[in-house]
A and B are shown apart, each in its own frame.
Chain A
């Protein structure tokens, strides 16, 4: 169901994940680099965002440099999963929530302003869901994040 992407779309998706120009007209600067017009860059990005191919054009923050975050996991009976996932999604502090293949089958990221706020949100999620969660904060990072290299084959 993945559609074919134009050359401009591919280059925008692959080459601008890491640095956006910090000049007053960043799309014009990108356009110049790609040999197209500013409006083409803007229209293409808008379309990719509307289609949900990109979630946004913006910042991804270093974990625990801005706010406090953790990865949480819950073991939920299959029949309860959708109901519990909806409760979890209702928290603004939750920004990813996936079903995964394991006894611990619900995995989500929780981000709050500081550690104290984080712990209180985790406690509230447990109370509202009625299941205990695993709190798995980051200890060290072993990967230099260069974005995601899309292989167009």
Chain B
């Protein structure tokens, strides 16, 4: 079978590795068994996704809150469109910033076009980190807000069994932006 063109195989593999590897000695062999293919086909399939740039990371996915990083501030910035290509990468490169994305404005309700995530042990730490970004990059005249998180209603942490048993929609198994 030509695995390169086998979309159903790839979709199933994406669902499984997005949900999490089984924690057994030979996880790729266990996945292979559930997909009805060989261990090396699973390994090659993951390698292919990685080579294609589809994987951001492949490893341990930590929950910041459970590690003592209780404050999570989504910092939103209203950057003049002409300057976003210059400022975006500089904010993205800051030490405490874990995500940095340009998103569209939705006027009049929403004016902010750059989103960056800053994690810290507490609120004061996050605020101090944002202040240092503003100072270092000279962003004093850029409008910004810190949207601290309160309750976390859902953070996907599905188990391997779920995907095995249910042909869930592809989105269900794919966590992005973590």
Contacts and interface: CB of A to CB of B under 8 A. Distances in A.
B91 interface: yes
Interface residues of B, number: 80
Given A13-B60, A17-B59, A148-B119, A57 B21 contact: yes
Q: Chain B interface mostly helix, strand, loop or mixed?
A: mixed
A59, A61, A89: residue with the most chain B Cβ atoms closer than 10 Å: A59
Interface string A120-152: 010000000000001111111111110110100
Interface of A: 2, 12-13, 16-20, 22-28, 38, 42, 45-46, 49, 51-63, 65-67, 69, 71, 73, 85-86, 88-89, 92-102, 104, 106-113, 117-118, 121, 134-145, 147-148, 150
B58, B63, B178: residue with the most chain A Cβ atoms closer than 10 Å: B58
B104 interface: yes
B59 to A, nearest CB: 5
A50 to B, nearest CB: 10
Q: Which 7 A-B pairs have the closest CB atoms?
A: A56-B20, A142-B92, A143-B92, A55-B157, A111-B171, A142-B88, A2-B68
Interface of B: 14, 17-21, 23-29, 39, 43, 46-47, 49, 52-64, 66-68, 72, 74, 88-89, 91-93, 97-104, 106, 109-110, 114-116, 119, 145-158, 168-172, 174-178
B8 to A, nearest CB: 13
A23 B109 CA distance: 50
Given A69-B176, A142-B102, A148-B119, A17 B60 contact: yes
A96 B103 contact: no
Nearest to A64: B176
Contacts of B102: 138-142
